[in-house]
Structure 1
């Protein structure tokens, strides 16, 4: 029996208040409105940003359904949707691509204005598609993937290869793309360079992979958990250091490891202001580039000496690896052909 146009009852993990545990409850998911897509979630990753929302470090509106990196199958579409159809395997995107705003049209832009930049927790018409016993539930980053069904705007969904394993490609929705792209697109790591990656979680390991793919000669992993070192080396790190093993600041340690030069590129993939400044201070004082990848707490502030950048260092941020995911659209011809996911400035072909 088709569920198109009908309310779907399904299980979801709902957080009612900040710092409170998840509740697995049955919710109602309304049909998609015009230019919206309802997706059956097949697999979802768990990102540190979800934890930030849970802990209050990142501002969200409660009650909320968290989750933002997933893969699923289109269950139904609203009026006017042409980029995907029921049955398509897709990835919902917390970084949408309308293709029309100034950011989307800019060659270096990827933070589309269609994203929930104000953290309203609502769809573009100011309402939610989620309810629990008549109570409205908020969305997270426009995706909310900790549920069996979700609804997203058509600009926030992209078709992928039907054969792609959902439990792996779900990470393209955030973790992998964010880390890999930070190296390839944001820093533009060069062949033969030296890199330092602060934080060796899922995003950090993806950053290591990006540095390796770009041809970096040395990739130094930095983490206080030595248990992460074997996997980091498997992914491409040439060496790993634990800041707790030294009595001097980690930036001085990295300078010592690079004959007093500093690294060419450093990446902060934790979300702490102290490691952000340490990563900046660890790169070459003149031509070094440091990229902030980890999401900092919403209320955090940072203090640093302007001399760290006065001499020529570059300090920049990176969201979703500055990937410009092409807005999928339908080409009219003898047959209708659906365009699918492509990455800009990348050789990544996980989703064909």
Structure 2
């Protein structure tokens, strides 16, 4: 286990505790079956690897793209791609390799490797290697036919459906492999538990814009990407958040702040009030005051019924308010496109627009109309 900033002791103890769980412990959990739908995102999965190995040895893909392959192929074949990714972590040592298999094989699960220098299968691309692993898992877990074209050279050697649970792989995928499945699930649980969640925010692997704002409740430490103390963030000053790295918030340039809810708060957007006399409710569900038209209120999370605006206060959802992520101020004239990618008109320099959705480099200004983000010509503030 590699150092994870100031939380190394906790990480090691947690990992050892999870590794010691028996198969019966996991039988009570939702993650026991190889078949199923993923829970984690590619951003969570990639961040977890980079915490332990900043330079994974991959061929032609980033760790986030590789994670996407696991999730996408797993969904197609009905296999838990996020836990299959944990299996790959175990097999490759956080993609450091170093055993019989070399990175150029794109073989992340030791398919065909028997030890003693036997390298096993070679796959043309990272995506093909992932597909082979998912297919091999499906051979063990299910009797259903493959959806994707078979690239697993050992698919026909498996007795179909003989191992529906991860712990059923013990002594089968790995020999002797007495705790093989338990160790995979321990890694997965460690990955799931150590990764922060920003409420209502999806973190695509190619995002370049801030997705939230961090507000320290007291002065807090900021760390360099390699875990060294760098600076102190000041209480009540707002800082951009670009994503998460394990149990830390990424505040730009890979610099990190510990995700301690007692010390920092995160807000994800704002509500614009379009009408008068909109009730603001307190923690006791009583009206505390009425909001005025034109007010904007920070939003920390939301559900189908209401917006959480901090401190237990909330606004009921309705047509009399608009939720948005941030604002785009144009530094020069900018082309506006419709949902089909057709240029419809030119927006003027210095105009300010609310942004309702971010899709890669596209900033949605409402009703599917968007502008292409370029930091040289657009100042985006969330």
Q: Same fold (TM over 0.5)?
A: no
Please tell me whether Structure 1 or Structure 2 has the larger radius of gyration of its CA atoms: 2
TM-score (norm 2): 0.25
TM-score (norm 1): 0.26
